[in-house]
Amino acid sequence: MLKIENLKASVDNKSILKGLNLEVNAGEVHAIMGPNGAGKSTLANIIAGKEEYEVDHGTIELNGEDISELAPEERAHIGVFLSFQYPVEIPGVSVTNFIKTAINENRKAKGLEEMPAKNMLKMIREKSELLEIDRKFLSRSLNEGFSGGEKKRNEIFQMAMLEPKLAILDETDSGLDIDALRIVANGVNKLKSKDNAVIVITHYQRLLDYIVPDFVHVLHDGKIVKTGDASLALELEAKGYDWIKEEMIS
Amino acid sequence: MSKYTEDDLREELETKEYEYGFYTDIESETFAKGLNEDVVRAISKKKNEPKWMTDWRLEAFRVWSKMEEPEWANVSYKKPEFQEIAYYSAPKQKPKLNSIDEVDPDLLATFEKLGISLEEQKRLANVAVDIVIDSVSVATTFKKTLGEKGIIFMPISEAIQEHPELVKKYLGTVVPTSDNFYAALNSAVFSDGSFCYIPKGVRCPMELSTYFRINEGGTGQFERTLVVADKGSFVSYLEGCTAPSRDENQLHAAVVELIALDDAEIKYSTVQNWYPGNSEGKGGVYNFVTKRGLCETNAKISWTQVETGSAITWKYPSCILKGNNSVGEFYSIAVTNNYQQADTGTKMIHLGKNTKSTIISKGISAGKSQNSYRGLVQINSRAENARNFSQCDSLLMGNKCGAHTFPYIEVKNKTAQVEHEATTSKIGEEQLFYCNQRGIDTEKAIALIVNGFSKEVLNKLPMEFAVEAQKLLEISLEGSVG
């Protein structure tokens, strides 16, 4: 589904990704771990198409199509979803209005009619149940005055509504208490299918207790330096990152 | 990857041309330029006015002659040359029409372009339209339905003929001829406008609506509106404006007076879209408006305005809360783009006991525009337990525009409670990227964010107007993205 080859990228002329390779197939869950400053969030933003991130070299392909020149909304239309580490507030725009607009804009891009209100309502009901979101929450202004947990839950709710092909969860576990973590992880697990893929970006093993990855990659200094299965995350949790750096030197 | 920096955004906003930039060639009769007592007399005579009206105008003219243009507003412009303006312009034959079919086809075509076809309007539920084109009304609908309830809704020039006692009793009682420079000028030379009277205890069954336009080049437009809601009555009045593209600046100095007698309520909504000038700041309408309402006991006046047009806006719809327990409200959205300058707000004058006022102002600035809120809350010594709540929010787009807030608060009674809140925010890259990432393009994202920002005020507009207003907001701010 996603194929990144020898990707070099920079922001403000500062080189961040230095030849990154990653292949994610449908039905897989990949975790990307690594110390602060390794380039994890850059990777997420560059896949989503944030403009200040410059692709200097390499390719990003989604289902065989090079997406590195597409606008962020065009990437969204073909199924890229980013759960933001810090979701922004949009005062006066309700969660419902926002998701309705997003769904209909995506449909418009595909040449489809707007989703009938009845179907939309049914979908909202289903997905909000899945994430234990109550009706009142949906009428609140997007992310305004939301707790950390509410923000992240809302991100996953949007993901559930938009049904992306490739979902990138950028530190979705940060700011979550254990109950919220369980709800969010449970939501992600239920949305998983053989047709979509998930990339989980995290510092900690904690989230991976709930969302079990097929692959764990360690990102260090702009490159993936080690890949393993779920046990690698446990090893990292126990030993930290230094041993990987040492391994690299030797 | 397509880029869309804040600079691009600003640039695209600046290139937005006025949608309704056209000029309809309707034959009209215009006085020679200039203003003196003879011109005032001639206007009055042209309209076949009674002597008291002529005298009233002349008195206003004399006051005006001694006045200076106000300079305290946060706007800068080349002052109009008042002797270079023609003070009267009327379509040549003033038709007495029984049906819409008799209206000049060119005129109808103009309305079509504006998307307010009369045919449609007539059929539209419950909207009676009194259209003012270049100062003289040419079509009035729904007069009969209103007549049955005893409601008077007609051009003020006709009201002067047919209901002189009402006009004489109320004209100039809220905005005296000597009130300010532009009000005095309007009093001397106004050519037409609307008059509305709701009898005691009557609830007006439909929204009353007037569309104003400026048409003849170089002609000042001086409308006069007088709305009287008798005891226990209710009326919702809609005023919408749009104007054709012009090179020279056009002066617009209207006066609106509202009178809400005991237990009456007036809801006055405006969508204003005068030509704002081009992207270099050339041309555009100068809009100097005096709007004020008087509330007697238990009465209520609500002003709601959506201001997207004009090169210069100078406008402070106000309420005099004279009666005990009276209520004043002001809800405003003001959008400025390119070189537009707006200095707008309200005055809430609390005279009676237990009077209450609410001010919600939303200013949106883009391009190189300047957007100022100026508001006065005055609690007088006898206004026991007066309450005011003010909220002024500004939204900036790009970094060459300005938002300013000038709140004046004067409290002479210690039982008063006055609250003022103000915020300033900017449409950020992060917000746009967030929307983009969800599949919403930048243009749609801006509309979404702006509508969200303006929601509290949009909600106050009557339904059919709210849709039009949202569309206007999008038109005024959208760039031709992509």
pLDDT at A99: 94
Partners of residue B451 in chain A, C-beta under 8 Å: 92-93
Tens digit of pLDDT for each residue in B254-269? 999 999 999 999 999 9
Q: Which domain holds residue A239?
A: 2-178+196-249
Chain pair A-B, CB pairs under 8 angstroms:
86
Q: What are the φ and ψ backbone dihedral angles of B128, each rounded to 5 degrees? A: -95, 130
Flag whether residue A1 sits within 8 Å of chain B, measured between CB atoms: no
Evaluate whether residue A62 is within a structural domain.
Answer: yes
Higher pLDDT among residues B192 and B183, named by residue: B183
pLDDT at B478: 57
Torsion sign (Cα): A165, A166, A172, A173: positive
Say how many Å lie between the first and final Cα of chain B, rounded.
12
Contacts of B165 (CB under 8 A, 6+ apart): none
Nearest-CA neighbor of A130 among A153, A102, A101? A153
Q: Which residues does residue B251 pair with via DSSP β-bridges, in sequence order?
A: B286
Q: How far is CA A224 from CA A23, A64, B407, in A?
A: 11, 22, 57
CA atoms within 13 A of residue A119's CA, in its CB half-sphere: 8
Tens digit of pLDDT for each residue in B84-106? 877 776 654 444 445 555 555 65
Evaluate whether residue A90 is within a structural domain.
Answer: yes
Evaluate whether residue A188 is within a structural domain.
Answer: no
pLDDT at B107: 55
Contacts of B209 (CB under 8 A, 6+ apart): B121, B127, B128, B129, B130, B237, B238, B239, B240
For chain B, which residues lie within 8 Å of any Cβ of chain A, measuring from their own Cβ?
1-5, 425, 428-431, 433-442, 444, 448-449, 451-456
Evaluate whether residue A191 is within a structural domain.
Answer: no
Tens digit of pLDDT for each residue in B28-83? 666 777 888 888 998 899 889 999 999 999 999 999 999 988 888 888 888 888 88
Mean pLDDT over residues B275-295, rounded? 86
Mean pLDDT over residues B413-435, rounded? 93
pLDDT at A66: 94
B128 pLDDT band, cuts 50/70/90, is: low
How many domains in chain A?
1
Evaluate whether residue A114 is within a structural domain.
Answer: yes
Evaluate whether residue A225 is within a structural domain.
Answer: yes
Q: What value of ipTM does the predicted structure carry?
A: 0.96
Flag whether residue A158 sits within 8 Å of chain B, measured between CB atoms: yes
Tokens representing residue B140 in the block = 């009035």
Evaluate whether residue A187 is within a structural domain.
Answer: no
Q: What are the φ and ψ backbone dihedral angles of B171, each rounded to 5 degrees? A: -60, 130
Give me the residues of chain A with pLDDT under 70, please.
250
Lowest-pLDDT choice from B1-15, B40-54, B344-358, B410-424: B1-15
Partners of residue A72 in chain B, C-beta under 8 Å: 433, 436-437
> What's A96's domain CATH number?
3.40.50.300
